[in-house]
Amino acid sequence: MSSQHPVTVRAAAKINLHLGVGAPREDGFHPLTTVYQAVGLCDDVTAHPADELSLEVDGSDWIDVDVVPTDGANLAHRAAVLLGSHHGRDLTGRLVVEKAIPVAGGLAGGSADAAAALVALDRLHDLGTSDDDLLRIAAELGSDVPFALIGGTALGTGRGELVESVGDVGTWWWVIVPSREGLSTPAVYRHFDKLFPKADPTPPDAEGLLSALRTGQPISLARTLHNDLQEPAVDLRPELGTLIEHGESEGALRGIVSGSGPTVVFLCESADHARDLAGALMRTGHPVVLVANGAVAGSHVVPSHV
Protein backbone atom coordinates (compact mmCIF):
# COMPACT_ATOMS: atom_id res chain seq x y z
CA MET A 1 0.00 0.00 0.00
CA SER A 2 1.31 3.48 -0.85
CA SER A 3 1.63 6.29 1.68
CA GLN A 4 -0.94 9.07 1.25
CA HIS A 5 1.47 11.46 2.93
CA PRO A 6 4.57 13.09 1.49
CA VAL A 7 7.88 11.55 2.57
CA THR A 8 10.93 13.79 3.08
CA VAL A 9 14.42 12.30 3.05
CA ARG A 10 17.56 14.21 3.96
CA ALA A 11 20.94 13.40 2.39
CA ALA A 12 24.29 14.94 3.24
CA ALA A 13 27.14 16.36 1.18
CA LYS A 14 30.37 14.36 1.18
CA ILE A 15 33.94 15.44 1.39
CA ASN A 16 36.86 13.16 0.56
CA LEU A 17 39.37 12.99 3.42
CA HIS A 18 41.53 10.80 1.22
CA LEU A 19 41.19 10.55 -2.54
CA GLY A 20 43.78 8.26 -4.09
CA VAL A 21 43.43 7.95 -7.86
CA GLY A 22 44.99 5.25 -10.05
CA ALA A 23 45.57 5.10 -13.82
CA PRO A 24 42.31 4.63 -15.79
CA ARG A 25 40.99 1.05 -16.07
CA GLU A 26 39.99 -0.56 -19.37
CA ASP A 27 36.40 0.63 -18.86
CA GLY A 28 37.68 4.22 -18.63
CA PHE A 29 36.95 4.62 -14.91
CA HIS A 30 39.76 5.55 -12.55
CA PRO A 31 40.28 3.11 -9.67
CA LEU A 32 39.93 4.93 -6.36
CA THR A 33 40.84 4.43 -2.75
CA THR A 34 38.88 7.08 -1.00
CA VAL A 35 37.65 7.92 2.48
CA TYR A 36 34.35 9.75 2.41
CA GLN A 37 32.87 11.75 5.24
CA ALA A 38 29.26 12.97 5.32
CA VAL A 39 29.03 16.53 6.63
CA GLY A 40 26.11 18.56 7.92
CA LEU A 41 25.22 20.31 4.71
CA CYS A 42 22.15 18.59 3.31
CA ASP A 43 19.62 18.45 0.50
CA ASP A 44 16.04 17.36 1.22
CA VAL A 45 14.00 15.39 -1.29
CA THR A 46 10.25 15.15 -0.70
CA ALA A 47 8.19 12.60 -2.60
CA HIS A 48 4.53 13.67 -2.79
CA PRO A 49 1.81 11.25 -3.91
CA ALA A 50 0.95 11.99 -7.58
CA ASP A 51 -0.39 10.26 -10.68
CA GLU A 52 2.83 10.63 -12.63
CA LEU A 53 6.54 11.20 -12.05
CA SER A 54 7.71 14.83 -11.96
CA LEU A 55 10.54 16.82 -10.41
CA GLU A 56 11.05 20.37 -9.14
CA VAL A 57 14.25 21.93 -7.82
CA ASP A 58 14.41 24.71 -5.29
CA GLY A 59 17.31 25.90 -3.19
CA SER A 60 19.14 28.16 -0.81
CA ASP A 61 20.20 31.64 -1.96
CA TRP A 62 23.73 30.60 -2.87
CA ILE A 63 22.59 27.71 -5.09
CA ASP A 64 22.37 28.17 -8.83
CA VAL A 65 19.25 26.03 -9.26
CA ASP A 66 18.90 27.08 -12.90
CA VAL A 67 21.78 24.81 -13.90
CA VAL A 68 20.18 21.74 -12.31
CA PRO A 69 18.19 19.70 -14.85
CA THR A 70 14.55 18.95 -13.99
CA ASP A 71 14.07 16.28 -16.66
CA GLY A 72 15.30 12.71 -16.97
CA ALA A 73 18.90 13.96 -16.66
CA ASN A 74 18.40 14.80 -12.99
CA LEU A 75 19.96 12.05 -10.89
CA ALA A 76 16.92 11.98 -8.58
CA HIS A 77 14.68 11.38 -11.60
CA ARG A 78 17.01 8.64 -12.84
CA ALA A 79 16.87 7.09 -9.38
CA ALA A 80 13.06 6.94 -9.61
CA VAL A 81 13.21 5.23 -13.03
CA LEU A 82 15.82 2.69 -11.91
CA LEU A 83 14.01 1.85 -8.67
CA GLY A 84 10.82 1.41 -10.70
CA SER A 85 12.44 -0.96 -13.16
CA HIS A 86 13.88 -2.98 -10.27
CA HIS A 87 10.30 -3.51 -9.08
CA GLY A 88 8.93 -3.99 -12.62
CA ARG A 89 6.68 -0.92 -12.57
CA ASP A 90 6.63 2.79 -13.34
CA LEU A 91 6.92 4.76 -10.12
CA THR A 92 4.90 7.93 -9.69
CA GLY A 93 5.51 10.86 -7.38
CA ARG A 94 6.10 14.61 -7.39
CA LEU A 95 9.73 14.93 -6.29
CA VAL A 96 10.67 18.28 -4.77
CA VAL A 97 14.41 18.73 -4.32
CA GLU A 98 15.44 21.42 -1.83
CA LYS A 99 19.12 22.05 -2.43
CA ALA A 100 21.63 23.41 0.07
CA ILE A 101 24.59 21.53 -1.43
CA PRO A 102 26.40 23.66 -4.05
CA VAL A 103 26.01 22.34 -7.62
CA ALA A 104 29.04 20.83 -9.41
CA GLY A 105 31.07 21.60 -6.31
CA GLY A 106 32.81 18.27 -5.61
CA LEU A 107 30.38 17.67 -2.74
CA ALA A 108 28.27 15.06 -4.58
CA GLY A 109 25.02 16.98 -4.32
CA GLY A 110 23.43 15.18 -7.25
CA SER A 111 24.39 11.84 -5.71
CA ALA A 112 22.82 12.91 -2.41
CA ASP A 113 19.58 13.74 -4.24
CA ALA A 114 19.61 10.36 -5.99
CA ALA A 115 20.10 8.49 -2.71
CA ALA A 116 17.37 10.55 -1.02
CA ALA A 117 14.97 9.93 -3.93
CA LEU A 118 15.54 6.16 -3.70
CA VAL A 119 14.65 6.11 0.00
CA ALA A 120 11.75 8.57 -0.34
CA LEU A 121 10.08 6.65 -3.18
CA ASP A 122 10.72 3.33 -1.49
CA ARG A 123 8.81 4.62 1.55
CA LEU A 124 6.12 6.47 -0.41
CA HIS A 125 5.21 3.28 -2.25
CA ASP A 126 6.05 0.96 0.64
CA LEU A 127 8.30 -1.09 -1.64
CA GLY A 128 10.43 -2.66 1.09
CA THR A 129 13.55 -2.66 -1.10
CA SER A 130 16.39 -4.42 0.74
CA ASP A 131 19.50 -2.45 1.74
CA ASP A 132 21.60 -4.60 -0.59
CA ASP A 133 19.32 -3.86 -3.54
CA LEU A 134 19.29 -0.13 -2.73
CA LEU A 135 23.10 -0.15 -2.67
CA ARG A 136 23.22 -1.99 -6.01
CA ILE A 137 20.82 0.46 -7.65
CA ALA A 138 22.77 3.35 -6.11
CA ALA A 139 26.03 2.04 -7.62
CA GLU A 140 24.39 1.98 -11.06
CA LEU A 141 23.40 5.62 -10.64
CA GLY A 142 26.90 6.84 -9.82
CA SER A 143 30.10 6.16 -7.90
CA ASP A 144 29.20 8.42 -4.95
CA VAL A 145 25.56 7.36 -4.56
CA PRO A 146 26.11 4.26 -2.34
CA PHE A 147 28.04 6.43 0.13
CA ALA A 148 25.22 8.99 0.12
CA LEU A 149 22.96 6.18 1.36
CA ILE A 150 25.17 5.02 4.23
CA GLY A 151 26.80 8.30 5.34
CA GLY A 152 29.14 8.50 8.34
CA THR A 153 32.77 7.93 7.42
CA ALA A 154 33.51 5.17 4.94
CA LEU A 155 36.22 3.65 2.79
CA GLY A 156 35.34 3.60 -0.91
CA THR A 157 37.08 1.32 -3.42
CA GLY A 158 36.45 0.20 -7.01
CA ARG A 159 35.43 3.49 -8.64
CA GLY A 160 34.22 4.62 -5.20
CA GLU A 161 30.97 2.62 -5.25
CA LEU A 162 32.13 -0.21 -2.94
CA VAL A 163 31.69 1.28 0.50
CA GLU A 164 32.34 0.08 4.01
CA SER A 165 32.03 2.12 7.21
CA VAL A 166 35.27 2.77 9.09
CA GLY A 167 36.10 3.60 12.72
CA ASP A 168 35.94 7.33 13.39
CA VAL A 169 35.92 8.58 16.98
CA GLY A 170 36.17 12.32 16.27
CA THR A 171 33.80 15.21 15.78
CA TRP A 172 35.44 17.14 12.96
CA TRP A 173 34.72 20.78 12.22
CA TRP A 174 34.95 22.05 8.68
CA VAL A 175 34.75 25.42 7.00
CA ILE A 176 33.40 24.95 3.49
CA VAL A 177 34.05 27.54 0.78
CA PRO A 178 32.13 26.94 -2.46
CA SER A 179 33.09 28.65 -5.71
CA ARG A 180 30.84 30.85 -7.77
CA GLU A 181 31.41 28.62 -10.78
CA GLY A 182 31.33 24.80 -10.81
CA LEU A 183 34.06 22.52 -12.15
CA SER A 184 33.29 19.51 -14.33
CA THR A 185 34.40 16.23 -12.71
CA PRO A 186 35.29 14.57 -16.08
CA ALA A 187 37.40 17.63 -17.01
CA VAL A 188 39.39 17.31 -13.77
CA TYR A 189 39.99 13.59 -14.36
CA ARG A 190 41.11 14.33 -17.95
CA HIS A 191 43.56 16.88 -16.56
CA PHE A 192 44.81 14.32 -14.00
CA ASP A 193 45.57 11.95 -16.92
CA LYS A 194 47.42 14.73 -18.73
CA LEU A 195 49.49 15.69 -15.69
CA PHE A 196 50.17 12.10 -14.59
CA PRO A 197 50.37 9.92 -17.74
CA LYS A 198 52.39 7.32 -15.80
CA ALA A 199 50.07 7.07 -12.78
CA ASP A 200 50.24 3.76 -10.91
CA PRO A 201 47.22 1.52 -11.62
CA THR A 202 46.90 1.00 -7.85
CA PRO A 203 45.73 4.15 -6.06
CA PRO A 204 47.61 5.26 -2.92
CA ASP A 205 46.14 3.63 0.19
CA ALA A 206 44.49 5.46 3.08
CA GLU A 207 46.20 3.69 6.01
CA GLY A 208 47.66 6.86 7.57
CA LEU A 209 44.36 8.67 7.41
CA LEU A 210 42.40 5.70 8.81
CA SER A 211 44.77 5.64 11.83
CA ALA A 212 44.34 9.39 12.31
CA LEU A 213 40.54 9.00 12.34
CA ARG A 214 40.89 6.55 15.23
CA THR A 215 42.86 9.10 17.31
CA GLY A 216 40.08 11.71 17.19
CA GLN A 217 42.81 14.40 17.05
CA PRO A 218 42.24 17.14 14.43
CA ILE A 219 45.97 17.80 14.10
CA SER A 220 46.61 14.13 13.23
CA LEU A 221 43.81 14.14 10.68
CA ALA A 222 45.09 17.41 9.20
CA ARG A 223 48.50 15.85 8.51
CA THR A 224 47.03 12.89 6.61
CA LEU A 225 44.38 14.56 4.39
CA HIS A 226 45.17 13.70 0.78
CA ASN A 227 43.61 14.44 -2.60
CA ASP A 228 45.19 13.34 -5.90
CA LEU A 229 42.71 15.55 -7.79
CA GLN A 230 43.87 18.69 -6.01
CA GLU A 231 46.81 19.36 -8.33
CA PRO A 232 44.73 19.11 -11.54
CA ALA A 233 41.90 21.15 -9.99
CA VAL A 234 44.29 23.90 -8.85
CA ASP A 235 46.06 23.84 -12.21
CA LEU A 236 42.69 24.47 -13.90
CA ARG A 237 41.62 27.05 -11.29
CA PRO A 238 44.73 28.66 -9.71
CA GLU A 239 42.57 30.78 -7.36
CA LEU A 240 41.85 27.59 -5.41
CA GLY A 241 45.53 27.36 -4.46
CA THR A 242 45.45 30.98 -3.32
CA LEU A 243 42.34 30.29 -1.23
CA ILE A 244 43.98 27.27 0.47
CA GLU A 245 47.07 29.34 1.35
CA HIS A 246 44.89 32.14 2.62
CA GLY A 247 42.76 29.89 4.86
CA GLU A 248 45.84 28.22 6.29
CA SER A 249 47.45 31.61 6.98
CA GLU A 250 44.23 32.55 8.82
CA GLY A 251 44.73 29.55 11.11
CA ALA A 252 43.09 26.52 9.45
CA LEU A 253 44.84 23.28 10.41
CA ARG A 254 44.74 22.34 6.74
CA GLY A 255 42.87 23.30 3.57
CA ILE A 256 42.11 20.83 0.79
CA VAL A 257 40.07 20.71 -2.41
CA SER A 258 36.96 18.57 -1.92
CA GLY A 259 36.85 15.73 -4.49
CA SER A 260 37.21 17.18 -7.98
CA GLY A 261 36.55 20.69 -6.63
CA PRO A 262 36.12 23.58 -6.83
CA THR A 263 34.85 23.63 -3.22
CA VAL A 264 37.68 24.03 -0.69
CA VAL A 265 37.29 22.67 2.85
CA PHE A 266 39.33 23.68 5.88
CA LEU A 267 39.77 21.46 8.93
CA CYS A 268 39.54 23.30 12.28
CA GLU A 269 40.26 22.49 15.94
CA SER A 270 36.72 23.07 17.22
CA ALA A 271 33.35 24.68 16.45
CA ASP A 272 34.60 28.04 17.78
CA HIS A 273 37.72 27.84 15.67
CA ALA A 274 35.61 27.07 12.59
CA ARG A 275 33.30 30.03 13.24
CA ASP A 276 36.32 32.35 13.67
CA LEU A 277 37.91 31.15 10.45
CA ALA A 278 34.60 31.47 8.57
CA GLY A 279 34.30 35.07 9.81
CA ALA A 280 37.84 35.88 8.70
CA LEU A 281 37.25 34.42 5.23
CA MET A 282 33.98 36.30 4.82
CA ARG A 283 35.66 39.56 5.76
CA THR A 284 38.20 39.00 2.99
CA GLY A 285 35.63 38.80 0.24
CA HIS A 286 34.24 35.26 0.15
CA PRO A 287 30.47 35.72 -0.03
CA VAL A 288 29.52 32.17 0.91
CA VAL A 289 31.38 30.44 3.73
CA LEU A 290 29.69 27.55 5.53
CA VAL A 291 30.49 25.72 8.76
CA ALA A 292 29.59 22.04 9.11
CA ASN A 293 30.63 19.10 11.22
CA GLY A 294 31.09 15.45 10.39
CA ALA A 295 30.45 12.68 10.40
CA VAL A 296 26.66 12.84 10.04
CA ALA A 297 24.07 10.21 9.13
CA GLY A 298 23.34 8.92 5.64
CA SER A 299 19.99 9.30 3.87
CA HIS A 300 17.17 9.27 6.41
CA VAL A 301 13.49 10.12 6.63
CA VAL A 302 12.79 13.47 8.28
CA PRO A 303 9.76 13.15 10.56
CA SER A 304 6.93 15.44 9.49
CA HIS A 305 5.68 17.89 12.10
CA VAL A 306 2.07 18.17 10.93
Catalytic center residues: 14, 144
| Residue 16 or 153 having the CB closest to ligand ATP | 16
Does residue 72 touch ligand ATP according to CB under 6 A? no
**Does 59 interact with ligand ATP (rule: CB under 6 A)?**
no
Cβ 113 to ligand ATP, closest distance in Å? 4
Q: Please, which residues have CB within 8 angstroms of residue 98's CB and are 6 or more apart in sequence?
A: 43, 44, 45, 46, 58, 59
Residue number with CB closer to ligand ATP (144 or 250): 144
Residue 74 binds ligand ATP (CB under 6 A): yes
Beta strands 300-302 and 153-157 are unpaired
Q: Which is nearer to ligand ATP, 99 or 254 (CB)?
A: 99
96, 80 contact by CB (below 8 A): no
The sign of the CA dihedral 113, 182, 287, 293 is: positive
Any contact of residue 229 with ligand ATP (CB under 6 A)?
Answer: no
Single out the segment in contact with ligand ATP by CB under 6 A; choices: 2-10, 25-33, 96-104, 285-293. Answer: 96-104
Is the Cβ of residue 135 or residue 280 nearer to ligand ATP in the bound state? Answer: 135
CB of 64 to ligand ATP, least distance (A): 9
* Binding range to ligand ATP, per CB under 6 A, among 3-11, 70-78, 190-198, 224-232: 70-78
Q: Which of 87, 74, 179, 171 is nearest to 116 (CA)?
A: 74
Bin 164: left if φ > 0, else alpha if -120 < ψ < 50, else beta. Answer: beta
Residues in CB range of 192: below 8 A, 6 or more apart: 21, 30, 199, 228, 229, 231, 232
End-to-end Cα spacing for the chain: 21
Task: Confirm or reject binding of residue 82 to ligand ATP (CB under 6 A).
Answer: no
- Nearest residue (beta carbon) to ligand ATP: 110
Cα gap 5→109, rounded to integer Å: 25
> Which spans of this chain sit near ligand ATP (rule: CB under 6 A)?
67-69, 73-76, 97, 103-111, 113, 142, 144, 182, 185, 259-260
